[in-house]
Amino acid sequence: MGVKILTLKEYKSVFNTLYPSLCLFSNKYIENLDVSKDIVQEVFIKVWEDRIEFQDDSAIKSYLYTSVKNRSLDYLKSKRYKETFSIGDTDIGQIETDPFFFREVVISETSVIIEKAVNTLPAKCAQIIKLSIKGLSNTEISEELGISLNTIKTQKKIAYKRLKPLLKDCFFIIAFVFEIRN
């Protein structure tokens, strides 16, 4: 129990799991992907160099999202400061709020789970689920892929069965799953 420092293996695993989505998350604030990458990298280096302690996966995520947000806002402020005083503070005021932050975290986290969950499915299942997310009905999927309605129903059942343990109460374990299946 209690807080602990990440081992290098854990650190790398966290990096692999969260680096891409954190870059996109930062990009929401600053709209510059290259700078976003630098910001996320700085945050990760700080975690290692300062040997920051975490209690659980959720604490890691909370720390990373918050740090990336703060650094992104700092960047925006410094840039605006340097470039011009003419832009009002209204824009930045809105994106500095907690609701904006939480909203973007939800979008980022949800997207990651969907992408990864679909990627763990067997190819045929994944194709069907992707079309289903797109809003296609079973009949439409059947026409699109040229397979029977029954096959689609069975494949969907298989998919939900496999996804169920991933999606129920165990977000903290998801990282491991993706590590071993990818």
Q: Which stretch binds another protein (CB under 8 A): 5-13, 69-77, 88-96, 145-153?
A: 5-13
Rounded to whole angstroms, how far apart are CA atoms 77 and 67? 15
Smallest separation, CB 64 to another protein (Å): 11
Q: Which of 100, 116, 86 is nearest to 21 (CA)?
A: 116
Per-residue tokens: 8: 């290098």
Nearer to another protein, 139 or 176 (CB): 176
Asked if 16 touches another protein (CB under 8 A), the answer is yes
Q: State the sign of the Cα–Cα–Cα–Cα dihedral 107, 110, 155, 150.
A: negative
> Could you please report the per-residue DSSP string of 111-145?
HHHHHHHHHHS-HHHHHHHHHHHTT--HHHHHHHH
Residue 62 or 80: the one with the smaller Cβ distance to another protein is 62
- In the bound state with another protein, the residue whose beta carbon lies nearer, of 92 and 105, is 105
Which listed residue (73, 105, 145, 147) binds another protein by CB under 8 A? Answer: 105
* Span near another protein by CB under 8 A; candidates 43-51, 75-83, 85-93, 140-148: 43-51
Residues 154-173 that bind another protein (CB under 8 A): 159-173
Contacts of 33 (CB under 8 A, 6+ apart): 23, 27
In degrees, rounded to 5, the angle at the alpha carbon of residue 136 between the alpha carbons of residues 130 and 138 is 95
Q: Give the binding range for another protein (CB under 8 A) out of 76-84, 86-94, 107-115, 141-149.
A: 107-115
Query: Of the listed pieces 49-57, 68-76, 82-90, 141-149, which binds another protein according to CB under 8 A?
Result: 49-57
